[in-house]
Amino acid sequence: MAEVKFYLEKRRDKITGEVITKNVPIFLFYSFHGQRLQYYTNMRIDAQKWNEETMKVKKNYSEAGEYNRELTRLKAKVEELYDKAKVLNETPTLEYFRDNLNGRLLDLIDKKTIWEAYKDYLKSLAVSKTPKTVSNAKLNYKILEDFSKSRRYKLTFENINQRFYDEYLDYCFNEKKYFNNYVGTNLKRLKAFLNWAHKNGYHKTVEFKKEEFKNTWENTEIIYLYYDEVMTLLNLKLENKTLAEVRDLYCLGCFTGMRYSDIKGLKPENIQGDLIVNRTIKTKEPNIIPLNPHSKKIIKRHAKKHLPFCMPQYKGGDANQYLKKVMEKAKLTRSVQIIHFRGATRFEQTQPLWQCATFHTSKKSFVTNFLERGGSLTTAMAITGNRSYKSAQRYFKIADTLRAKEMAKVFGSVSAYKKSK
């Protein structure tokens, strides 16, 4: 996509013949599909206040902020209009851009149904999001479709309201038996679609933005392995090659905090000395993870065996099933209490660790053990790529050893006090 540019009009005074430098019109220029859009921004500025290189008003002038915010808004609007036309497989015209920029909305959408709009949304996601994100959005589409058929609820943008919210929760909790967090996740995905559709002119309703239309999210127990359990797993002798490889994949997560998708995607070029240098698949953010003796040994053990990757390749579902077998062999039978809520109803279940552990627990094991053994939360967040301090703080609640150490550091240990008596 071509870049949106701004420039000052070059016009000469009819009497003096000199270029006009006072109160000069600012124009927007955009080249697309062989066409050139020149659009007057309804703003004027003296030439001495204009920076041709940045295509903005110079910052040392008092009105710069207001002018530059409007230029940024216009640039974003043009790019948004182009993207919308691309998603809808339409060819944008000069009139399409001018009419929309002037506030006379040109209806490319032609009042599409919510289902047609959702399919456009999926096309848009496919351009910039990961396959996992697209897959989750498709799953959410299917859930909405099943809800609409089951409850005979004609879904339109206009009736995404409080009645829909109540009906949807009743369907999820009482008919599908979903727990709160799964329902909350799908409500979040629905809101992402509705926000996209609102931004792109498919509807004008804002009911879904109200406080009553809230996610049913709750903090769940953090299931993780104690440090000695991780070491038991690491040192377990396994004759079966598959189980040994899955064990190494899991333990690498416990020692690096990497997601399973990132571990699978590791390539030799990502290993630079004693560092893992990569870009995470989920967030697309660059990340640097220091290796330790355990993680380095695991990677070295698989060197050049799985090219072009560093580690063996297993599908997530298969890997989790093999992991349960490995943990059972390691006799990781510690009882774990799992509590879920369906609405306000509490469901409690106790399972042995090996039965409820998945690859997702390797990252949780890393963070918890990192904190308990003296690491800081800030560093743990940097290593794992966790950007939410609020969610990361949950690990402090379970790092009992760390809390005991901090208490002793501040007030002295109980054992030392007893000796002094």
pLDDT 10s digits, 149-167:
999 998 999 889 888 999 9
Whether the predicted model's global pTM rises above the 0.85 cut? no
Average pLDDT, the chain: 87
Mean pLDDT of 291-316: 95
Q: How far is CA 377 from CA 220, 257, 339, 386, in A?
A: 19, 13, 26, 10
pLDDT at 45 exceeding the cut of 60: yes
Task: Name the pLDDT band for 393 (thresholds 50, 70, 90).
Answer: low
The residue assigned the tokens 């967090």 is 181
Q: Which residue has the tokens 């710069």?
A: 64
pLDDT for 296 equals 96
How far from the centroid of its chain's Cα atoms is residue 120's Cα?
20
pLDDT at 180 over 90: yes
Q: Which two tokens stand for residue 340?
A: 């879920």
The CB-side HSE value for 253 (13 A sphere, CA atoms) comes to: 24
Closest residue by Cα to residue 101 from 182, 30, 177: 30
Q: What is the mean pLDDT of residues 199-222?
A: 80
Is 224 within 8 Å of 359 (Cβ atoms)? no
Confidence at residue 206, expressed as pLDDT on a 0 to 100 scale: 82
Asked if residues 368 and 403 have their Cβ atoms less than 8 Å apart, the reply is no
Query: What number is the average pLDDT over the span 264-284?
Result: 92
Cβ neighbours of residue 70 closer than 8 Å, sequence gap 6 or more: 41, 43
Angle at 417 between CA 411 and CA 421, to 5 degrees: 145
Distance CA 125, CA 257 (A): 27
Question: What CATH number is given for 114-209 in this structure?
Answer: 1.10.150
Average pLDDT over residues 106-123: 78
Of the listed ranges 206-210, 211-215, 284-288, 343-347, the least confidently predicted one is: 211-215
Residue 212 binned pLDDT confidence (cut-offs 50, 70, 90): confident
CATH H-level, domain 227-409: superfamily? Intergrase catalytic core (1.10.443.10)
Stretch 378-401: mean pLDDT: 71
Domain boundaries along the sequence of the chain? 5-101, 114-209, 227-409
> Is the peptide bond preceding residue 308 cis, with omega within 30 degrees of 0?
yes
